[in-house]
Amino acid sequence: MNLIFLLLASTKYLTKAQIRESIADYRESTSDQAFDRMFERDKEELRELGINVEVGSHDPLFNDNEGYRIPRDSAELDDIELTREEAAVVGLATRVWQHAGLSSGSNLALMKLKSIGIDIDTSVLRMAEPRLSTHEPAFDDVWDAAIRRVPITFDYARPGQPAARRHLQPWGILSWRDRWYVVGHDLDRDDTRVFRVSRITGEVTAAGRPGSYDVPEGVDLRQVADTLFPASRDEIAVLRVAKGRGLSLRRRSESVQTLDDTTDRVTVRFGSTWEIAGEIASYGADVLVESPTDLRTAVVEQLRRAVGGELAEVVRP
């Protein structure tokens, strides 16, 4: 993304030296050979995406001093006409990317180019403005490590268990039902693992240099998610739900039985105990678990964590 910003925004061909000085990942490369490998890999990925990286020079007397740029006319798309439904979907998608941290590296790179006298056309940046909204404190560090291929260490706390130190080579981040997960190679277990980003406590620490490992070929994060978070829902939760409350539970319920003027008995099929426990806990006293017992225990645990160890009297025996 930083390379796209530079080559798209520049009005001149940029030499490899200028590009290396402007982008942090390139500056941190240990040798000219390492930089060349990274740069050639990134150029090839852009071309595979259909982005034309043009090679040329503005100096007719010194054609050997070649540079690179992305012509704006080749990067822009033709006008697209959308139906109202399609436009609504696109609008929702654009709201996903609302995190300034993802563009901070690009902004620094543009500032460096301006400082050495390169003319920059910032109006084209609207064509590729990354934004992302997340609330997990560790998200930025994990995201950065994944895209730069930096091994990391962090403390990870499973529900009801003390935090444990983990060592990971992150491959990528995926969103699954409003939660963010990092997928990678767990060095402690020598196997593929998925960690929920919100359960990472404390600081995420780099444990190696950028590009120090490769993501295995053919890895599909969606397939990993399907394996670890199966769609099958084999268990039934029996809940007491206040009238007019628990709408998301009611929408996918298998049955609703009126108990009295204030309460219904709602049965819901589920697959992940901790996932539905979080949903139930979010309703507080309006949703109570009758069965199964392990779901009830999970809701109690999440409520305890939410109030710092003191359980509010919202779950009756």
Q: Round to whole Å and give the CA distance between 81 and 87.
A: 9
Place of tokens 């950028």: 210
Helix (H, G, I), strand (E, B) or coil at 153: strand
Check whether the bond before 292 is cis (ω within 30° of 0). yes
State the DSSP code for 10.
Answer: B
The amino acid at residue 193 is R
Helix (H, G, I), strand (E, B) or coil at 219: coil
Alpha carbon distance, N-terminus to C-terminus of the chain? 54
- Name, in order, each residue with C-beta under 8 angstroms of 52's C-beta and a sequence gap of 6 or more: 70, 71, 74, 75
Q: Show pLDDT as tens, one digit a residue, over the chain (317 residues).
A: 788 888 887 878 888 888 888 888 888 777 888 888 888 888 888 877 778 888 887 665 655 578 888 887 766 666 666 666 666 555 555 444 444 344 455 555 555 555 555 555 555 544 444 444 446 788 889 988 998 999 999 999 887 778 899 999 999 988 766 678 899 999 998 988 889 898 898 899 999 998 899 988 888 877 776 666 655 567 899 999 999 888 888 888 889 999 999 999 999 988 778 778 888 988 888 999 999 998 999 888 878 876 654 333 333 33
Contact 186, 236 (CB under 8 A): no
In the chain, the largest separation of any two C-alpha atoms, in whole Å, equals: 89
Contact 236, 267 (CB under 8 A): yes
Q: Round to whole Å and give the CA distance between 111 and 104.
A: 11
* Sequence ranges of the domains in the chain: 2-128, 139-228, 235-306
Q: What is the pTM of this model?
A: 0.40
Helix (H, G, I), strand (E, B) or coil at 33: helix
- Closest alpha carbon to 171 in 215, 106, 201, 220: 215
Residue 223: count of CB within 10 angstroms of its CB: 10
Residue 305: count of CB within 10 angstroms of its CB: 14
Helix, strand and coil percent figures for the chain, each rounded to 5: 40, 25, 35
- The CA-based angle 172-154-190, given to 5 degrees, is 65
CATH architecture type of domain 139-228: Roll (2.30)
Q: Where are the alpha helices (DSSP H) in 215-255?
A: 221-228, 247-251
Helix (H, G, I), strand (E, B) or coil at 310: coil
Place of tokens 């697959």: 271
Contact 168, 197 (CB under 8 A): no
Check whether the bond before 137 is cis (ω within 30° of 0). no
